[in-house]
Amino acid sequence: MHDSVNLEAAGIPTVFVASSEFVDAADAQSRSLGADPARVFVAHPIQDRTDAELVALADAALDELLAALR
Amino acid sequence: MSELLDPTSERSAALRERAPRPESLAGVRVGLLDISKPRGAVFLDQLQSLLEARGMTVERFSKPTFTKPAPLDLRHEIATKCDVVIEALAD
Amino acid sequence: MTTDTDRERTAAVTIPDGLVAVVKRDCPTCTTVAPVLAQLASAGALTVFTQDDPTFPEGTNPVDDRNLAVSFALDIDTVPTLVRIEGGAETARTVGWLRSAWEEITGVAGLGPDLPEYRPGCGSLTQDPVVVDRLLVERTVPLLRARRVALGADEDVHEAMDARGWTDGLPVVPPTPERVARMLAGTTRAPDDIVAVVPPDLVECTVEKVAINAVMAGCRPEYLPVVLAAIEAACTDEFNMHGLLATTWFAGPVVIVNGPVTRAIGMNSGLNALGQGNRANASIGRALQLTVRNVGGGRPGEVDRATLGNPGKYTFCFAEREHDSPWEPLHVARGFAPDRSTVTLFAGEGVRGVVDQLSREPESLTRSFAACLATVAHPKLPIVWDAFLVVSPEHARVFRDAGWSRQRLTDEINAILQLDGEQFVQGAGGIAEGMPEAFRATTLPKFRTGGLQIVHAGGTAGLFSGIIGGWASGSVGSEIVTREVTR
């Protein structure tokens, strides 16, 4: 989240991807940084997913990611 | 937490504003920043092929560790090579 | 500024007729006279107001005056103070304890038989700057209407303000509600009064918003009236702040302050008057700049399109050196009474120096001034640009000794600066820049009528004066605007 805020401050539109477990943490971190960086959430969990499942998550997230960058 | 009085016309948000977005994503250089958590690379590999299939240029970057913000040199490199950035994947 | 007695006194307070005493527990004399107060109160003849402990003195049914409203209303400087009020008006008063005085005011004989004849009183809390400041803040903060921006726990305050675009690149003082409340004590105007409609976004700007930006700029409360007048002047149609921002030319607002306020707030009109180091000079000009930036939205790279700008766009504010000037003050020359204070705004670029260490006669020094003034913007461009000539004390002495008025000096310079069309048409002198060929047979003045202004400032050593070149003058650009400073 710091990276998003720092890159945005440098003028680079940035979107941050996290698992759905991170919704509250990302909101709190955003507040404490005084910012509202773009963020997209994918379904938790991540670590025990198969490659095929991760590819499917990326496919599903793409439109939302592109929307956050324009 | 300290509280300040807004010195502005209050026509814009009290939070830091996001960077201006490009009018179109056609041909933009996209940075994919891997925060270096396990399994994140698989997700990013797929994003890379999806973005390239749409005609965008993709540059890959990795943070040394997901536990700390990216070092200044890396941020600078990203800022000079990319128009937009996707950072992934936190869990 | 820690007191604002005008505002205190307008607070609604009720003071009953009869005997009124004002006391505090933290005063040995008050505790000494407590039995006397109890005696008078039980007879129903006395109302006691207490400044610190609302249970003191026992047996008097005291009235809580910890907000000091009654103490200020009665102008109490010592406790105990005993006052007789009749028909709403004070008819007698004594301070401290003097038996004979208390007996005379109360009409009761034999008061406090065990007390000494006399004990001096103690200082009233209305005289304590810390207490007065706290009350001021408590009273004013609830009146503030600006959006509260809560900083994140991980945000550094300086970085947070800069990240929100509130600064001019230099650090600013964080505008906390407390600081803004203290700033507002510098004016009698209400926080929600509209000062001006600020360009370029044409935003109605309240006294409170000015106070916030004045805090950030580093102003003290007593500077606020000057800042308010400067903003009023800058936001007039004649001054044309919008155009001044939008131009690619160097200029920004130059604030020249005249009158008693310059001495009262310690402005610099002397050595290094146009330079750094004086808080009032520095922060008043900067408060104007920050208000235009933050409230009006006039930011460089956006509406502000200056090609190069000039360092005076951070702040450019000074006072005229009036006390030993050979001339009447600038504001008097511009039609204001000598006992008034004013700001005069000029759309000016940077300062350039004029050296003349040899002229002892006014005619010679005037020619030096004219030769240098001829180059403002370009030596081949007449009429369009205004200028301020800042005459230093050593140069001014030449004109004083010769008995030259400000008007005479202005007229003599203008008489010299009648430019010949042969010299200023395009191509003349091998320079493409210049006036169209149609002007070849004409003579034009370098400065339009009123376009050259003169002010006295600087240290007493140095045979130098200064020129502040202007911007496009008059209706196509900016008029010089003077506004009175009121509290």
- Which residues is A35 bridged to in the sheet? B16
Find chains touching chain B: ≥3 CB pairs under 8 Å: A, C
Residue of C nearest to B14 (CA): C149
Phi-psi category of C255—alpha, beta or left, where left has phi over 0 and alpha has psi -120 to 50? Answer: beta
Amino acid at C437: E
pLDDT for the residue numbered C5: 42
Over residues A40-66, the mean pLDDT reads 92
CB–CB contact C147 B5 (8 Å): yes
Shortest distance between the Cα of C39 and any Cα of chain B, in A, equals 50
CB–CB contact B79 A62 (8 Å): no
Instruction: Give ∠ CA C213-C214-C215 in degrees, rounded to 5.
Output: 90
- The reply to whether C213 touches chain B by the CB within 8 Å rule is yes
- The DSSP result for C376-392, as a single string, is SS-TT--SSEEEEEEE-
Q: Of the candidates A39, C178, C374, which has an alpha carbon nearest to the alpha carbon of residue B2?
A: C178
Q: Which helix (H) or strand (E) holds C206?
A: strand C203-206
**Residues of chain A with a CB closer than 8 angstroms to some CB in chain B:** 2-19, 21-22, 33-38, 42, 44-47, 49, 51, 54-55, 57-59, 61-62, 65-66, 69-70
- Which of C103-112 are b and which e, b meaning 16 or more Cβ less than 10 Å from the residue's Cβ? eebbeeeebb
C-interface mutation test, from A1, A4, A5, A33, most C Cβ less than 10 A away: A33
pLDDT in tens, C53-69: 999 999 999 999 999 99
Size of interface A-B (CB pairs under 8 A): 133
CB–CB contact B7 C153 (8 Å): no
Which pTM value belongs to this model?
A: 0.80
Phi-psi category of C87—alpha, beta or left, where left has phi over 0 and alpha has psi -120 to 50? Answer: left
C294 vs B contacts (CB less than 8 Å) = 7-9
- Out of B44, B82, B89, closest to residue A12 by CB: B82
CB–CB contact C201 B3 (8 Å): no
3-state secondary structure of C413: helix
C153 vs A contacts (CB less than 8 Å) = 32
CB–CB contact C155 A32 (8 Å): yes
SS (H, E, C) chain A: CHHHHHHHHCCCCEEEEEEHHHHHHHHHHHHHCCECCEEEEECCCCCCCCHHHHHHHHHHHHHHHHHHCC
On average, the pLDDT of chain C sits at: 94
Taking the C-alpha atoms of residue C159 and residue C147, their distance in angstroms, rounded to an integer, is 19
pLDDT tens track of chain C, all 487 residues? 334 444 444 446 788 999 999 999 999 999 999 999 999 999 888 999 999 999 999 999 999 999 999 999 999 999 999 999 999 999 999 999 999 999 999 999 999 999 999 999 999 999 999 999 999 999 899 999 999 998 888 889 999 999 889 999 999 999 999 999 999 999 999 999 999 999 998 999 999 999 999 999 999 999 999 999 999 999 999 999 999 998 899 999 999 999 999 999 999 999 999 999 999 999 999 999 999 999 999 999 888 889 999 999 999 999 999 999 999 999 999 999 999 999 999 999 999 999 999 999 999 999 999 999 999 999 999 999 999 999 999 999 999 999 999 999 999 999 999 999 999 999 999 999 999 999 999 999 999 999 999 999 999 999 999 999 999 887 788 999 999 999 8
C206 vs B contacts (CB less than 8 Å) = none
Structure token pair of residue C133: 């400041």
pLDDT in tens, B50-71: 999 999 999 999 988 777 778 8
- The reply to whether C142 touches chain B by the CB within 8 Å rule is no
CB–CB contact A9 C163 (8 Å): yes
Q: Of the candidates C351, B16, C161, C73, which has an alpha carbon nearest to the alpha carbon of residue A38?
A: B16
Interface of A with C in 9-28 (CB under 8 A): 9
Residue of A nearest to C162 (CA): A9
CB–CB contact A35 B15 (8 Å): yes
| Helix runs in B35-87, H state only | 40-53, 72-81
- The DSSP result for C76-111, as a single string, is --EESEEEEEETTEEEEEEESEEHHHHHHHH--SS-
Residue of C nearest to A27 (CA): C152
**Lookup result for tokens 């007493």:** C460
Class of residue B11 by CB neighbours under 10 A (exposed 0-12, middle 13-18, buried 19+): exposed
Shortest distance between the Cα of B19 and any Cα of chain C, in A, equals 12
Measure the N-to-C terminal CA separation of chain C; round to a whole number of Å.
13
Q: At what angle do helices C177-184 and C207-217 cross, to 10 degrees?
A: 110
Q: What is the ipTM of this complex?
A: 0.93
Taking the C-alpha atoms of residue C471 and residue C482, their distance in angstroms, rounded to an integer, is 17
